[in-house]
Amino acid sequence: MEHALPNTSGPSGHAHPWRTIAVVATGIAMLELVGLMVVAIALLARPVLHHAQSEARAADAKPAAEKPAAPKVGPLLPRRLVSVTVLNGNGVSGAAAAEASRVRARGYIVGAVGNAPNGSYGRTVVMYRPARRGEALRLARDLQIRRVSPLDGLRRRDLKGAKLAVIVGG
């Protein structure tokens, strides 16, 4: 039986031309697979998108009584009436006391100074009780702190009666 491919196992030819053919065939198969995946994603994404849009329309159409109530937001208290607990969340001795001095210098009441339950905060953060987001944003702006969040990882008792907490990070 004769082969369609010439025997080029000499010094100038390739000893195994089937390898080249296998690589080309693999490349074509990969392109076909990618094409099939694109088509499958396009076909599956359409129903999911329509379902999400219909859910959003249904949520918007709910009467106000069925919608969850927005959190209560009280009037913005003056700085002299906002108590702040300052907690050391980085383990550096004296970090909370230094931050408490900065808080006090801006007109806030410093309620308590101590250590955070978790001592591995990477960045300083201002945390707030419900309805005190406005005061938290103002305190963060006053102290040039970028992170503001509701109580996360802290309990109300950790605030020791304060409305806000500054957790000093690394």
Distance CA 103, CA 145 (A): 12
- Evaluate if residue 20 carries a pLDDT over 70: yes
pLDDT in tens, 106-141: 999 998 999 888 777 889 999 998 889 999 999 999
Chain length of the chain: 170
Q: Summarize the confidence of residues 15-19 as an average pLDDT.
A: 79
Predicted local distance difference test score (pLDDT) of residue 144: 93
Token code pair at residue 110: 């410093």
Q: For residues 9-34, give the mean pLDDT.
A: 81
Residue corresponding to tokens 């099939």: 36
Which residue, among 94, 82, 95, 87, has the nearest Cα to 139 in the 3D structure? 82
What are phi and psi for residue 8, nearest 5 degrees? Answer: -115, 45
Q: So what's the pLDDT on residue 40? A: 86
- As a CATH number, domain 79-168 is 3.30.70
User: Can you tell me whether residue 66 is helix, strand or coil?
Assistant: coil
Domain ranges of the chain: 16-67, 79-168
pLDDT above 60 (res 3): no
pLDDT of residue 104: 95
Report the predicted TM-score, pTM, of the whole model to 2 decimal places.
Answer: 0.56
Tens digits of residue pLDDT in 34-88:
999 998 888 888 777 777 778 877 777 666 555 555 555 567 889 999 999 999 9
> Considering only CA atoms, which of 118, 113, 119, 124 is closest in space to residue 149?
124
C-beta separation of 156 from 129 below 8 A: yes
pLDDT category of residue 24 using cuts at 50, 70 and 90: very high
Residue 113 zone, left/alpha/beta (φ > 0; ψ -120 to 50; rest): beta
Question: What average pLDDT score do residues 143-163 get?
Answer: 84
Which pLDDT band, with edges at 50, 70 and 90, does 157 fall under? confident
